[in-house]
């Protein structure tokens, strides 16, 4: 699967792709109308428990977070597989995360490339 990442505030609609919001929470200051053709698949985001735990100390917990998040994704793989196979490529992942490298995004991109 061809996957790219964009920040929500920089999003420019592209008709020939699937766009998915991959954050657990709706981004602040973004209207639902501005993302009306965007799918929101909350199950691709880390669980609330994992997200809260990670945000307590991002720098020291990142490595463990990625392992735990990969396990969460693997546990949901059979459920997500049906949704993901229906997606039209290329897929654009939208996120409000500021530091993409220290977030769930790299782990999610690796997971999605299997499909």
Residues 44-101 pLDDT 10s: 999 999 999 999 999 999 999 999 999 999 999 988 888 888 888 889 999 999 999 9
Q: What is the per-residue pLDDT for 83? A: 84
Per-domain boundaries in the chain: 3-112
Handedness of CA 78, 83, 86, 90 (dihedral sign): negative
Q: Is the pLDDT confidence value at 14 over 80?
A: no
Name which residue leads in pLDDT, 16 or 69.
Answer: 69
In this prediction, residue 79 carries a pLDDT of 87
pTM of the model: 0.90
Pairing of strands 39-40, 18-21: parallel
């Amino acid at each position: 699967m061809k996957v790219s990442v964009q920040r929500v505030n920089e999003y420019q609609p592209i008709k020939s792709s699937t766009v998915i919001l991959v954050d657990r929470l709706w981004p602040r200051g973004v209207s639902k109308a501005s993302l009306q053709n965007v799918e929101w698949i909350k199950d691709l985001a880390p669980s609330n428990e994992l997200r809260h735990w990670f945000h307590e100390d991002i720098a020291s917990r990142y490595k463990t977070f990625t392992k735990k998040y990969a396990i969460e994704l693997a546990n949901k793989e059979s459920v997500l597989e049906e949704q993901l196979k229906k997606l039209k490529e290329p897929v654009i992942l939208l996120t409000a995360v500021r530091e993409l490298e220290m977030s769930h995004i790299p782990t999610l991109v690796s997971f999605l490339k299997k499909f």
